[in-house]
Copies of this chain bind each other. A is one copy, B any other.
């Protein structure tokens, strides 16, 4: 059974290395890898969040190449994944888009590489996904989501840990592992 799950990759507001709020640039392989992982694990939609006009245009150009351009003929599997992508200006716009589907607003779950006492575990969220609520799993680019986004979220998911003290996975890797932990059989 498909989970009632949406994924968002946020490019604004995120923080840079110095902790300042910035709008990050869209990375081509984030779109491909996270769309392919989303498709693999039955995610309903994958939202790319940026308010920047040029970044929205670039993202749309990449999507179009693979969903209706030559890429879609050369590689139909890739089309199937990139068709899940929706570009929106803000997380509020994402929430509106999901609510239009008729199931109301989803519960929001932020991800982070940082520990927090309020984190829910993978086991807890996996269990929650079996219920009737829909969930929006939010990933940050740059050095992570702005504090405001984290504080406003309904839940914060525990970080992915390996078996070392190193916690610097790419957002592409983190998203893949998180979806696997939450959804795989």
Contacts and interface: CB of A to CB of B under 8 A. Distances in A.
A45 to B, nearest CB: 15
A166 B32 contact: no
Interface in A135-185: 160-164, 166-170, 172-177, 179-181, 183-185
A42 B81 CA distance: 31
A164 B42 contact: yes
A contact patch SS: helix
Interface size class of A (residues with CB under 8 A): 35 or more
B29 A169 contact: no
A116 interface: no
Interface stretch (A33-41, A46-54, A101-109): A33-41
Contacts of A80: 166
A41 B177 contact: no
Contact of A163 (B77, B164, B174, B184): B184
A163 B2 contact: yes
Contacts of A175: 173
Nearest to A175: B173
B41 A164 contact: yes
A45 B163 CA distance: 15
Contacts of A41: 162-164
A160 B176 CA distance: 11
A118 interface: no
